Amino acid sequence: MRALITNDDGIDSLGLVTLAGAALSCGLDVVVAAPSAEASGTSASVAAVGETGRVLSERRTLPGLDAEAYAVAAHPGLIALIACRGGFGGKPDVVLSGVNLGSNVGRAILHSGTVGAALTGHLNDVTAMAVSLDVGLDGSEPLWDKAGEAVRAVLPVLLDLPAASVLSLNVPNIVDVQGFRWAGLARFGAVQSRVEEVGENEVELVTVCSEDTPAPGTDAALLASGYATLTALRSVARDPSVERPLPAWPR
């Protein structure tokens, strides 16, 4: 099976190498295509970086990794789209995005480029998984090996799911992980953006820890308790539960 490995932290991220290495150890045929610069918070954006609209890529060699790799001037959602349409050597069987430096939990995953790449794979009928390591704002050293262990354990589960399934895996950044749990999405997430006025007609978004206490059983709560969490996601879909009788067209 062919796997596209991408991320939103950029081609030089150790998390990217960790994810690609885990996929290789599971017997997948790996191609790496990741943003040439950090692209966090880009969601599923398919905007190219640059003014021409053409997507430029450069072959790269990643440390300790025997796999084809490209640094791409694009956001991860667009990279996943290009791959699913036959770029980077052909359509993948699975899109793996991460390992993100920081958790992606709660409904705030809407904004994540890591999750956006996985959902773009799902929209193009490709099974996908976003992987994130819960490295907080305190500057803790990332335990990439723990993320790799989690990926190797979960990949067989992912590949046994129905076609075009998509999972979000969050791994606690601790030595003694308690195990895996299926989890719902918290109301928001582990971090939030706070708006601060810094001058006339100018504001700044400051990232702060969420002050909300996550509900039991949600990804944020379980992750904080030392569990690696798995959340099955679905992309944009109709919600008939809110539909009501419509008025007649004005005449």
**Phi, psi for 240 (deg, rounded to 5):** -70, -15
pLDDT band of 139, cuts 50, 70, 90: confident
pLDDT of 145 > 80? The answer is: yes
> From the centroid of its chain, how far is CA 35?
13
The confidence score (pLDDT) of residue 193 equals 52
Is 214 exposed, middle or buried, given 0-12, 13-18 or 19+ CB atoms closer than 10 A?
A: buried
> Higher confidence at residue 56 or residue 17?
17
The confidence score (pLDDT) of residue 199 equals 65
User: pTM for this one?
Assistant: 0.90
pLDDT of 201 > 70? The answer is: no
Who contacts 191 (Cβ-Cβ below 8 Å, separation ≥6)? Answer: 102, 108, 137, 207, 208, 209, 210
The confidence score (pLDDT) of residue 196 equals 61
Q: What is the DSSP string of 119-185?
A: HHHHHTT-EEEEEEEE--TT-PPP-HHHHHHHHHHHHHHHHTSPTT-EEEEEEESSSS---EEE-BP
CATH no., domain 2-186+214-235? 3.40.1210.10
The confidence score (pLDDT) of residue 195 equals 63
The confidence score (pLDDT) of residue 214 equals 84
The confidence score (pLDDT) of residue 52 equals 72
Q: Say if residues 4 and 96 touch (Cβ distance below 8 Å).
A: yes
pLDDT of 225 > 90? The answer is: yes
pLDDT of 189 > 80? The answer is: no
pLDDT digits (tens, 9 = 90+) for 56-109: 999 999 999 999 999 999 999 999 999 999 999 999 999 999 999 999 999 999
The confidence score (pLDDT) of residue 54 equals 84
Q: Alpha helix (H) ranges present in the chain?
A: 14-25, 76-84, 113-123, 144-159, 219-224
Who contacts 149 (Cβ-Cβ below 8 Å, separation ≥6)? Answer: none
